[in-house]
Chain A
């Protein structure tokens, strides 16, 4: 059974600090990795996608992928209250099935 694991939180981070969200996955054949943000009562929205080992930066967000350790993370720099949400890690394997973790609730403290 392919799995994606995340710490459910809540993760509390002071405004302006760096929030670090982590995710591990079980399927070594996984090829595509995504981070989604979901506000309460809304649909998930894509923040970052990453396909190869290393870092990928987009504004205040950096995704990091380490396939050997089966680990993907998301860093949010200069955290803002508007970043408070649930962050979902998603992983896609060779079968194109996209599996989600249970999400980490992030709370930015003003």
Chain B
């Protein structure tokens, strides 16, 4: 029943490791997003895909690579994790000019 689901919910890893977060939506939306929320709760857009095509790519280190195998899925792979990558990562989906529907978030802790 879950509209936007992302896994895992928690991710604890060491510096230098590579990790992935997966996201799926069953709302039939054309656009999917990754947002990062830092410790001060600021929600910042990272990437946006429309129908599997990358349309927004904010100033994000190359270590972050999104992949969209189809319009219902958007995954985020992070290479060589750093302490500053610790945050909550939210996946979201929407139609054009419509509200975002968020997943439950993935809390990433890099030690």
Contacts and interface: CB of A to CB of B under 8 A. Distances in A.
B31 interface: yes
Interface residues of A, number: 23
A43 B9 CA distance: 12
A90 interface: yes
B48 A96 contact: yes
Contacts of A92: 97
Interface stretch (B19-27, B37-45, B60-68, B70-78): B37-45
Interface in A86-109: 86, 88, 90, 92, 95-100, 102-103
B96 interface: yes
A23 B102 CA distance: 21
Contact of A90 (B31, B40, B100, B105): B100
A39 to B, nearest CB: 11
A34 B35 CA distance: 16
B90 interface: yes
Contact of A102 (B33, B42, B45): B42
B45 A43 contact: no
B99 A46 contact: yes
A31 B99 CA distance: 12
A49 interface: yes
Interface string A36-79: 00100011111001010000000000000000000000000000
Interface of B: 31, 33, 35, 40-45, 48, 50, 55-56, 90, 94, 96-105
